[in-house]
């Protein structure tokens, strides 16, 4: 079983909520199966006057940008931090930077491997006369974002009255950063750890081995509160992260056991592991199994034997 998830009521869109002494949140009206009630843009610093940082300006949505700018009216935005380049996180950065003059910070542009995989999926879908995936889902990306300042793991970003330690946390996407706010022992976890749902790890740029390593790494850290981009805060992070790890390890064992009986393709593994799953969710389950298989392949534990059209999704997989 996955861990017990945390829920919250839909927040009031377009207004700012004070969630802790140093942190305010504005939620964008972009609810979806990837974003829960929407993207939470965090403003860090005193609530009036002085300097502030913004974590994940959010999607390209004029109303959201206006709400964020209203929230920081009369203050100086010194840092625009970007956890990663999915379309619900970084696109508003440019507009907010333009309006405030703030410096943008991120690990780097949208990863080439993610772009290539997305374009290939769109090409295949069009070839088959199917609807290609949407440009605002987790498979797509913000191809325009380029950080002013490239942030590496362990960098400390100092503001007036606040300091963040950056943690490079690839897994969900290779350019993912978390930001640990020292003053409140709080980590802004982006999509790396979310309370309302597990994290999708879209291979090949998404990497389950990296994801798990970066979950384990959190267990040794002192932060007691996580503020994900989507959904409520997590205030007991260690047992929660442990449950996330155990859930993936259980899946890994199940898939390895299935392959031990002979070569298998993804649909047959989904049928065996996700008994009773609604047909609409088979594709998502298949993507999760695929992420596990790619991780096993990268660790030298499994190999793909492509069938006729060299599509990994249709390959038979076996233990190596
Ligand atoms: Zn994301």
The answer to whether the CB of 276 falls within 8 A of the CB of 239 is: no
Record the tokens describing residue 146, joined without a space.
Answer: 């380029």
CA of 234 to the centre of ligand 1 (A): 18
The answer to whether the CB of 85 falls within 8 A of the CB of 110 is: yes
CA of 199 to the centre of ligand 1 (A): 8
309 has a pLDDT exceeding 70: no
CA of 32 to the centre of ligand 1 (A): 12
CA of 319 to the centre of ligand 1 (A): 30
pLDDT, tens digit, for every residue of 22-50?
Answer: 999 999 999 988 899 999 999 999 998 89
What torsion, rounded to 10 degrees, do the Cα atoms 43, 46, 48, 50 define?
-100
CA of 10 to the centre of ligand 1 (A): 20
Which helix (DSSP H) or strand (DSSP E) does residue 197 occupy?
A: none
Q: Which residue has the tokens 């994940």?
A: 56
CA of 109 to the centre of ligand 1 (A): 14
CA of 182 to the centre of ligand 1 (A): 24
> What's the rounded Cα separation, in Å, for the pair 189 and 177?
8
Which helix (DSSP H) or strand (DSSP E) does residue 55 occupy?
A: strand 51-55
pLDDT, tens digit, for every residue of 115-160?
Answer: 998 998 889 889 888 888 776 666 689 999 999 999 999 999 999 9
Minimal CA–CA distance to 230: which of 184, 199, 203? 199
The answer to whether the CB of 169 falls within 8 A of the CB of 177 is: yes
CA of 34 to the centre of ligand 1 (A): 8
Minimal CA–CA distance to 139: which of 119, 109, 153? 119
Which conformational region is residue 26 in: left (phi greater than 0), alpha (psi within -120 to 50 degrees), or beta? beta
The DSSP secondary-structure symbol of 6 reads P
**What is the total residue count of the chain?**
320
CA of 265 to the centre of ligand 1 (A): 27
pLDDT, tens digit, for every residue of 214-268?
Answer: 999 999 999 999 999 999 999 999 999 999 999 999 999 999 999 999 999 999 9
R_g (Cα) of the chain, nearest Å: 20
The answer to whether the CB of 211 falls within 8 A of the CB of 171 is: yes
> What's the rounded Cα separation, in Å, for the pair 252 and 246?
10
pLDDT of residue 49: 85
CA of 28 to the centre of ligand 1 (A): 15
CA of 191 to the centre of ligand 1 (A): 5
pLDDT, tens digit, for every residue of 171-222?
Answer: 999 999 999 999 999 999 999 999 988 899 988 899 999 999 999 999 999 9
The answer to whether the CB of 50 falls within 8 A of the CB of 79 is: no
Helix (H, G, I), strand (E, B) or coil at 32: strand
Minimal CA–CA distance to 50: which of 78, 24, 70? 78
pLDDT of residue 46: 92
CA of 3 to the centre of ligand 1 (A): 20
Q: Is the peptide bond before 204 cis (omega within 30 degrees of 0)?
A: yes
Architecture of domain 16-245: 4-Layer Sandwich (3.60)
Other beta carbons within 10 angstroms of residue 279's beta carbon come to 6
CA of 308 to the centre of ligand 1 (A): 32
The DSSP secondary-structure symbol of 230 reads S
Query: Where do the structural domains in the chain lie, given as residue ranges?
Result: 16-245, 261-319
Q: What is the pTM of this model?
A: 0.94
Helix (H, G, I), strand (E, B) or coil at 315: coil
CA of 140 to the centre of ligand 1 (A): 9
């Amino acid at each position: 079983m996955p861990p017990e998830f945390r829920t919250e009521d839909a927040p009031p869109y377009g207004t700012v909520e004070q969630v802790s002494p140093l942190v305010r949140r504005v939620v964008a009206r972009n609810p979806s199966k990837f974003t829960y009630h929407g993207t939470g843009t965090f403003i860090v610093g005193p609530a009036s006057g002085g300097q502030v940082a913004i974590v994940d300006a959010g999607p390209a949505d004029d109303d959201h940008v206006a709400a964020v700018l209203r929230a920081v009216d009369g203050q100086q935005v010194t840092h625009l931090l970007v956890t990663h380049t999915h379309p619900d996180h970084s696109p508003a950065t440019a507009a907010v930077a333009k309006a405030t003059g703030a410096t943008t910070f991120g690990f780097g542009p949208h990863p080439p491997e993610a772009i290539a995989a997305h374009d290939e999926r769109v090409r295949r879908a069009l070839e088959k006369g199917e609807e290609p995936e949407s440009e605002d889902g987790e498979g797509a990306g913000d191809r325009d974002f380029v950080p002013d300042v490239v942030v590496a793991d362990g960098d400390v970003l100092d503001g007036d009255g606040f300091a963040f330690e950056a943690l490079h946390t690839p897994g969900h996407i290779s350019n993912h950063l978390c930001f640990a706010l020292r003053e409140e022992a709080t980590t802004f976890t982006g999509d790396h750890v979310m309370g309302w749902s597990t994290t999708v790890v879209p291979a090949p740029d998404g990497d389950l081995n990296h994801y798990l390593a970066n979950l384990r790494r959190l267990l040794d850290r002192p932060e007691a509160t996580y503020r994900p981009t989507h959904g409520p805060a997590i205030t007991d992070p260690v047992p929660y992260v442990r449950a996330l790890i155990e859930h993936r390890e259980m899946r890994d064992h199940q898939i390895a056991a299935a392959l031990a009986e002979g070569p298998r393709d993804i649909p047959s593994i989904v049928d065996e592991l996700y008994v009773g799953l609604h047909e609409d969710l088979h594709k998502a389950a298949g993507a999760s199994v695929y992420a596990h298989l790619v991780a096993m392949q990268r660790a030298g534990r499994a190999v793909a034997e492509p069938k006729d059209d060299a599509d990994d999704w249709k390959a038979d997989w076996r233990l190596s």
